[in-house]
Amino acid sequence: MSHAPLLRPSLPPGTHPVETGRYTLSTPPLGRFCDDLKGWIKNRATGAIVTGRPRTGKTRGIRFGVEEIRDELGTTFPIMTFSCEDHQRPTEARFFEFLLREFGHSLSHSGTTGAKRARLIQFLIHKACTDHHSRLIIIADEAQRLSTPQYNWLVDIYNALDRHNIATTFVLVGQPELANQRDVFEQSKKMQIIGRFMVHLHEFSGLRNFKDFRYCLKGYDEESEYPEGSGCSFTKYFFPSGFEAGWRLADESKVLWEAFQQVRAEAKLPGKAEIPMQYFSRTVEYTLREYGSVENGKPTISPNQWMEAIERSGYRDAGRYI
């Protein structure tokens, strides 16, 4: 007795990346960020700031960018990342201890301030000299939280590495007030900070038009795969019959863009008509989970269903604050 072939892999419930949210697909904003990041590294830029509104995908962009750099320059290329914390009363000792801990050093707590500084610098020199690179990339997320004293301590670290012929590139990633901080430093003549950390500026945007939507939706159709080696894209997994019949999420790009614009108009949301990646992803994930069907051929997702998915993403309520 013959059996019809399985239309999609069998997975435990709730384990697909669309259900867990643990995945990153290429997007136009990510592509622009990675191009700039690679340029800064190749040109040995001292520092750059990357700003963007909340939920535009900056943190995921860091992870994606690190993977891109290591794919191009090798897995051992030294890239250090940390996420800034909001210290009410920052001290030099606590700051160096924090960086040691963030960078994975096993001895972050012990010693004097000078000992922690020396340990951190030696640790970074060791990382930079891996495979004779003499390069170091340090990426700070949530960098709008850095205070002026912390910038000065980072200047000390930069200078120490420079004395050891280590070419360091700092990339500070944060919310739009990070660019305002650069203006403040410029007005107060703190050029030693701007010259080391803020020479270049990249603005991380949301999705700007239906062509951006189409690019991203095409990722679900073609650039994704789970399980690995299965040949099953995210779209194919949730709409296997429709996928086999030629239906693609990318064909929904204009309808989805118009649905977002309708929500913006109804809610009178301020600011640019850019859609943060988080709410776009949540909308698509809801649609795949709730409307996905193993059978029935080409699906029909109505504008009202897309509107429902947008509502479920939280975009209407969050839109006035981002």
Which residue, 155, 181, 185, 180, is CA-closest to 170?
Answer: 155
* 42, 185: one domain: yes
Query: What is the model's pLDDT at position 1?
Result: 39
Shared domain for 220 and 250, answered yes or no, is yes
265: burial class by Cβ within 10 Å (0-12, 13-18, 19+)?
exposed
CB atoms within 10 A of CB 6: 9
- Residue indicated by tokens 């900070």: 193
- H or E element at residue 177: helix 177-187
Residue 200 is inside which H or E element, if any? strand 200-203
Task: Show which of 203, 218, 243 is a domain's final residue.
Answer: 203
Give the domain-ending residue among 171, 203, 235: 203
Identify which of 227, 214, 197 has the alpha carbon closest to the alpha carbon of residue 84. Answer: 197
**Residue 255 domain-assigned?**
yes
Grouping H, G, I as helix, E, B as strand and the rest as coil, residue 151 is helix
In a domain, 7, yes or no: no
- From start to end of 37-191, where are the E strands? 47-51, 79-83, 135-141, 167-174
- Structure confidence at residue 2 (pLDDT): 39
Domain check: are 125 and 160 in the same one? yes
Residues 95, 217 within the same domain: no
Structural domain span for residue 255: 207-321
Rounded to two decimals, the pTM is 0.88
Task: State residue 53's pLDDT score.
Answer: 87
Same domain, 51 and 65: yes
155 and 237 co-located in one domain: no
Looking at residue 320, what DSSP letter applies?
Answer: G
178 and 129 in one domain?
A: yes
- Identify whether 222 is part of a domain: yes
Q: What is the pLDDT, as a whole number, of residue 226?
A: 97
Query: pLDDT by residue for the chain (322 residues), tens digit each?
Result: 334 445 789 999 999 999 999 999 999 999 999 999 999 999 999 999 999 988 888 988 999 999 999 999 888 899 999 999 887 788 999 999 999 999 999 999 889 999 999 999 999 999 999 877 899 999 999 999 999 999 999 999 999 999 999 999 999 999 999 999 999 999 999 999 999 999 999 999 999 999 999 999 999 999 999 999 999 999 999 999 999 999 999 999 999 999 999 999 999 988 778 999 999 999 999 999 999 988 777 888 999 999 999 999 999 988 776 6
Residue with tokens 């909340």: 54
> Among residues 178, 203, 228, which one ends one of the domains?
203
Q: Given this model, what pLDDT does residue 271 score?
A: 78
How many domains does the structure of the chain reveal? 2
Rounded CA-CA distance 239/138 in Å is: 42
User: Strands across the sheet with 167-174, in order?
Assistant: 79-83, 135-141, 167-174, 47-51, 200-203
CATH number of the domain within which 50 lies: 3.40.50.300
* Long-range contacts of the stretch 185-191 (C-beta < 8 A, 24+): 185/151, 190/148, 190/151
128 and 114 assigned to the same domain: yes
Same structural domain, 245 and 164: no
